[in-house]
A = this chain, B = another copy of it.
Amino acid sequence: MKTLTLNVKGMTCGHCKSAVNGALAELEGIDNVEVNLETGKVDVSFDETKVDETKMKEAIEEQGYDVA
């Protein structure tokens, strides 16, 4: 299991938090997601044999947020 922190821009409320959380949680290989609305930081633990940062970024961007 590996961890990384994504910097997500544009999350403003609890719905945004849920949208990002849900989009990541749906990916295969994601173990845990922690979204911090105030800082925009999203901590993810994942199985690096099943998912990578590119896929996570795509999932978040599909929800309408930018990943720095």
- A14: chain B residues within 8 A (beta carbon): 64
What residue in chain B is nearest A11 (Cβ atoms)?
A: B13
Shortest CB-to-CB span from A10 to chain B, Å, is 8
Asked whether A23 is an interface residue with its Cβ less than 8 Å from the other chain, the reply is no
Asked whether A50 is an interface residue with its Cβ less than 8 Å from the other chain, the reply is no
CA of A15 to CA of B11, assembled, Å: 10
Flag A1-21 by CB within 8 Å of B: 1 or 0 each.
000000000101111100100
Please give 9 more A-B residue pairs, beta carbons under 8 A apart, in addition to A12-B16, A15-B16: A10-B13, A12-B12, A12-B13, A13-B13, A13-B15, A13-B16, A14-B64, A15-B15, A15-B19
